[in-house]
Chain A
Amino acid sequence: MKQIYFDHAATTPVDKKVLQEMMPYFNQNFGNASSIHSFGQEALLAVEKARMQVAKYFNANLNEIIFTSGATESNNLAIKGTDRAYFKKEKKKPHIITTTFEHHCVLETVKKMEKENLIEATFINPKKDGVIDVRDIKNAIKSNTILVSVMYVNNEIGTVQPISEIGRMIKSKNSEQGTGDKKIIFHTDATQAVAYFDCNVEKLGVDLMSMSAHKIYGPKGVGALYVKFGLDIAKIQDGGAQEFGLRAGTLNVPGIVGLGSAISMIRNQDSVNTKIRELRDYLVAKILKEIPDSRLNGSKIKRSPNNVNVNFSRVEGESLLMMLSAEGVFASTGSACSSGSLSPSHVLLSLGLKPEETHGSLRLTLGKNTTKKEIDYAVKAIKKSVEKLRKVSGNVLKDYYKNKS
């Protein structure tokens, strides 16, 4: 059976070359990077090479890259670490601004801190097209605002946020008189942006930036946090002094090697992106043309080249995924029925969609090896599955609204 993987925003396969570079660090050069002997030093060398590779991609310095277990940890460290460092100094409750459609690892972190009365929080809603308006962030800034956290690319609908614009706004706010010592720190979760958008920290004007290896053909369980030199952030995990004292725990050497290798392999970004974008546009056009009552969620233009998120009315997403899986097409949905919590996608709700409008969503995310042939096959399978499920649902939705009115 055909196997068409259209879920690259969930995770990607480890690239063969990346895997090859990782292999020796499992059982040959297996040393602990903190050990003084040559086994340890060899591991340390590999870690430092990876740090250089990541720093180069971000246009950062070596001492600004902290290896973590992935984007969830990076985001936790960025947000909680910023709050802790501030509180230690000021003993005051700070204010944090984020958005309503962040990944759960940012959203839940901020919500929990708010609930525990550690911070005040403001959650900015994106516009209907899934893009944050920088003016909304600006207007939310208060005298005790210490952190703004806005994701670079939304993981569900792929919309790209005006990070450098926000960066500039924060910079000018910070240089205004009267802010004194307290500067607003700018964090972005760039997990879905790496490989598709410019992640030059200087150009973006960010102080903190999170990423994860497994979204870019690297291994799972490893990521990084860029921490601008001189930034005051506190550790959130106690133990050894690894990672400039910011992240205790034995370094995941093979994983870090894999991350460095994966990020160094991102080359010819523009031409790869153009190819993926062309395929994506072809896929969107084909779906909207061939399947009635379908629509695209999120901006068509301000969007990651690899992301499609469409909605089919009178179809439920989990059913659609299962039917597609049986056809060998693997995708994802924001339907409540597919989530562990049985609540509809907070991202789709943030666009102003009603709960009933979120159930029929389908996310297809392409990868560097996606072909036109795969897309043609997938559209055929989607069309067939949607038709079948619409037949099963019949007029039930129409009858419901008829009875109600």
Chain B
Amino acid sequence: MYSKKVLEHFTRPHNQGVIKNPSGVGMVGNPTCGDMMKIYIKVKKDVKKREVISDIKFETLGCASAIATSSMITDLAKNKTLEEALKITRNDVAEALEGLPPIKMHCSNLAADSLREAVRDYRDKNKK
């Protein structure tokens, strides 16, 4: 029922772990429904002075698709500008994983939301 890509990311997740002193953190989900995701980002300015996600890591408690979407979004968002990262949608994540079972599209596809929360957290902290 899961695509090969989902299984790949589930069994060997990319960028799993924690960033010490992150620029922003986003957490979504709740223990009642079962899927919880936390995304850490490190933001740096590139040569063009654009804010870029230089590092990204995740911690996820949840089903295989929750873990796979977390892993996939770290791949999609790494080295992207914040504007680019904010444009990543739930559908982009699902497509990059060669699809998710229909029933999992909503409940376990929280990675894009989590990333957006992390960017918002970074911007809140750096308000001038």
Interface residues of A (CB under 8 A from B): 314-316, 318-319, 322-323, 326, 335-338, 340, 342, 344, 354-356, 359, 391-397, 399-400, 403
Contacts and interface: CB of A to CB of B under 8 A. Distances in A.
B31 A316 contact: no
In the A-B complex, the 4 residue pairs with the closest CB atoms: A356-B31, A394-B59, A393-B61, A337-B63
B67 A392 contact: yes
A395 B66 CA distance: 16
Majority-rule SS of A interface residues: helix
Interface string B42-63: 0000000000000000011111
B97 interface: no
Nearest to B106: A342
Given A336-B34, A394-B17, A314 B62 contact: no
B59 A323 contact: no
Contact of B10 (A319, A336, A399): A319
Contacts of B66: 316, 319, 337
Interface of B: 2, 7, 10-11, 13, 16-18, 27, 30-38, 59-64, 66-67, 103, 107-108
B58 to A, nearest CB: 8
Given A337-B35, A394-B17, A403 B27 contact: yes
Contact of B60 (A318, A336, A337, A392): A392
Given A319-B67, A323-B11, A342-B103, A393 B60 contact: yes
Give the most central of B30, B31, B37, B38: most A CB within 10 Å.
B31
Contacts of B67: 319, 392
A396 B63 CA distance: 14
Contacts of A336: 33-34
Nearest to A355: B32
B16 A319 contact: no
Given A336-B33, A359-B34, A400-B30, A395 B11 contact: no
Nearest to A395: B59
A392 B34 contact: no
Nearest to A326: B11
B31 to A, nearest CB: 4
21 contacts: A314-B61, A316-B61, A316-B62, A316-B66, A318-B63, A319-B10, A319-B67, A322-B10, A336-B34, A337-B108, A355-B32, A355-B33, A356-B31, A356-B32, A359-B34, A392-B60, A392-B67, A393-B36, A394-B38, A396-B36, A396-B38
Nearest to A323: B11
Contacts of B107: 337, 342
A318 B34 CA distance: 10
Nearest to B18: A394
Give the most central of B2, B32, B35, B37: most A CB within 10 Å.
B32
Contacts of A396: 27, 36-38, 59-61
Nearest to B37: A396
Contact of A337 (B7, B18, B27, B62): B62
A397 B34 CA distance: 10
A306 to B, nearest CB: 27
Given A344-B34, A397-B31, A399-B27, 20 more contacts: A314-B61, A319-B62, A319-B67, A323-B11, A335-B34, A337-B34, A337-B63, A337-B108, A340-B103, A391-B16, A392-B16, A392-B61, A393-B61, A394-B18, A396-B36, A396-B59, A396-B61, A397-B36, A400-B30, A403-B27
B38 to A, nearest CB: 5
Nearest to A343: B33
A319 B64 contact: yes
A46 B68 CA distance: 53
Contacts of B32: 354-356
Contacts of B7: 322
Contacts of B63: 316, 318-319, 335, 337-338
